[in-house]
Amino acid sequence: MSEQVSINSSSLYGSASTAKGDVLVRAENIGKIFCRDFKKSLLYGVCDALHEFFPFPHAKESLPSSGIMLRPSEFWANREISFEVRRGECLGLIGRNGAGKTTLLRMLNGLIKPDSGFIEVRGRVGAIIALGAGFNPVLTGRENVYVNGSLLGLSKKEIDGKIDDIIDFAEIGEFIDSPVQSYSSGMQVRLGFAVATAMDPDVLILDEVLAVGDLSFRSKCLKRIGQISRNSAILFVSHELGHVTRICDRVLLLERGVPHFYGATDEGLSTYQKLVSSEVMESEAPELHPAIDYFRPLTQEGGGLTETGGALCIHFEISSREEIPVGSCNLFFMSHQRIIEGQADFSSRLSAIPKGHSRISMEIPMVDLAAGHYLVNVQIFAKGGREVVVHSFGSTRVHVIGPQRVWCGYRMPVERVDIVPYPDR
């Protein structure tokens, strides 16, 4: 292990006397090395253990920026990551799958040791990094609450005062006295979140905790996070960019384990959108009816920028060799992880795709979406069946700004659809 590695673990689960605004989490140039080869990783583990007592050169390939040498089959999962989070702040960790977000959280929570850099975490830490992590599947939910509370330094009397609130929030009722191994994934997440947030943590670490829950649970969690954030430092990982926009003061964007952006939430999400949207749209060729020659989305007014509750027009050009009667017609507003956040049905406004070249425009009078970035998926099916006329993922981009909201309408009305013929080209 390099001499520059340092982690302050003495306060990970203890109390800390810190004032509002104090830095509770600090990371300086931290990095983590993994090995692709299982047998070599075991050998390297033994060597590293011996190296703790008998220092000797690491050998093979060096990285000047860190001063650490990589051995065969090793790679950097995280590298040169620096940030700090103060009490009352929420830092969002964003990036594509495999970018190193969970590895970073595990180092911050003390589950694994960094190979370079310095980590300081002050105060009591509540963390949900993996589904069911920290729960003994044989013990009941109630017993696991007491075990987790004890690990966080709480006395039995303190846990007794919180147990009712935990059970009420988790909404598992009489199942609290059943073994955790009999819980569904949703029940485990609800109980884990309730425990982590009810213990008054100074630092709260959440990794995709809202991905499993239903809409009602997500709303409760976001409200609880907002309450906790007043007196805690929060690190929040999510692919739901609307949630990141709502609760995060700043974001850290990781790309292949390396910081790509660190700063304001809006700017960070825009940078992330540029990274992923072009790849998504290029990888998804539209599926068209045999009579359709082409389907082409048009640039939206204002670059697709609108605000929550405002109006939005979507335009596209289409060329067909025959008139095609249509049935189901929808616009789906999707996150970059293909999660549908809203839908606009224009089936009653469009009866057929006309023959020839046409421009079709749809006006949505009120965009009931949370602030964030969305891709628009156009789906049009032939009348009386499921035959595809147009199915185009990521046809265009929409950026919604405005007040941060939790509940948004799933279905949005389409006021009108205009079809303007173009002369043959």
φ and ψ at residue 332, rounded to 5 degrees: -115, 125
pTM higher than 0.85: no
Place of tokens 């539209």: 286
Instruction: Find, among 118, 6, 2, the residue nearest to 66 by Cα.
Output: 2
End-to-end CA distance of the chain: give it in Å, rounded.
Answer: 68
3-class DSSP state of 326: strand
Give the start-to-end residue ranges of the domains of the chain. Answer: 6-124+201-276, 284-422
φ and ψ at residue 240, rounded to 5 degrees: -85, 95
pLDDT tens digits, 25-46:
999 999 999 998 888 888 888 8
Fold held by 6-124+201-276: Rossmann fold (3.40.50)
Q: How far is CA 106 from CA 89, 101, 148, 220, 406, in A?
A: 20, 9, 17, 25, 28
pLDDT tens digits, 339-374:
777 888 888 899 999 999 999 998 888 888 877 778
- Count CA within 13 A, CB hemisphere, residue 331: 27
Looking only at the bridges linking them, the beta strands covering 90-94 and 233-237 are parallel
Confidence tier at 406 by pLDDT (50, 70, 90): very low
pLDDT tens digits, 160-170:
898 988 888 88
CATH of 284-422, picked from 1.10.150.120, 1.10.3430.10, 2.70.50.60, 3.40.50.1100, is 2.70.50.60
3-class DSSP state of 43: helix
Amino acid at 407: W
- Lowest-pLDDT range, 181-185, 273-277, 314-318? 273-277
Quote the DSSP letter at residue 177.
Answer: G
- 103 in Cβ contact with 238 (< 8 Å): no
Cα–Cα distance, 323 to 292 (Å, whole number): 10
Ordered alpha helix ranges (H), 93-247: 101-108, 141-151, 156-170, 185-198, 215-228, 241-247
Place of tokens 């023959």: 355
